[in-house]
Amino acid sequence: AVVSTQSTGVVQCMEKLGYRVGFSLIEKATKDEARVKEDVDIVKYICKDLWNMLFRKQADNLKTNHTGTFVIQDNRFRFLTRVSQSEQYKQRGELYVAFTCGVVKGALANFGLPCSVTAEIDMSPTVKVTLTLQQPPI
């Protein structure tokens, strides 16, 4: 398990790249779509359409506590299906999820919902992405 400043720098770099990609992707993808109104609809769009665009499958589960926190669960996260499931690679798994977190953050930012995005890998390849909206929905 390597937790050095070098690896956190890499994670931040990947997130920044993902942010820009997510931002542009949403701009392009929502061009001819009907207007998406509610915050929940926006998050559902992320789970279905954005996940489809990135991984050719939809997210498996979406949970919310109705106060601005959503958890998207993907049981077969594309970037981790080929990684061995032993403990020692869990830390490295973070790097693979960082880009996706950035994409989700950028996508939500372009929809007008600034938020913080974190990911947990309890049991690879299941990944849970947690979105915390900065302004809780009214």
Partner 1 sequence: MAVCIAVLTKDNCPLYIACDPNEDSLKLHFLVHTSIDVIEEKLNSATAANDPRDLYLGQLYPNEDYRIYGYVTNTKIKIVVIESISNPLKDGDARQLFSKVHGAYIKLVCNPFYSPGSPVTSQPFLSSVASLMRAKTIA
Instruction: Estimate the crossing angle of helix 90-111 against helix 5-29, to 10 degrees.
Output: 40
Minimum distance from CB of 72 to partner 1 (Å)?
Answer: 20
- Residues in the site for partner 1, rule: CB under 8 A? 20, 23-24, 26-28, 30-31, 33-37, 110-112
Omega before 136 cis (within 30°)? Answer: no
Closer to partner 1 at the Cβ: 10 or 17?
17
Closer to partner 1 at the Cβ: 19 or 77?
19
Distance CA 75, CA 111 (A): 26
The pair of three-digit structure tokens given for residue 85, joined into one six-digit string:
């499931």
Minimum distance from CB of 126 to partner 1 (Å)?
Answer: 30
Minimum distance from CB of 92 to partner 1 (Å)?
Answer: 27
Closer to partner 1 at the Cβ: 31 or 82?
31
Minimum distance from CB of 112 to partner 1 (Å)?
Answer: 5
Amino acid at site 31 = K
Closer to partner 1 at the Cβ: 48 or 63?
48
Start-end of H helices in 1-138: 5-29, 39-45, 51-55, 90-111
Distance CA 96, CA 79 (A): 6
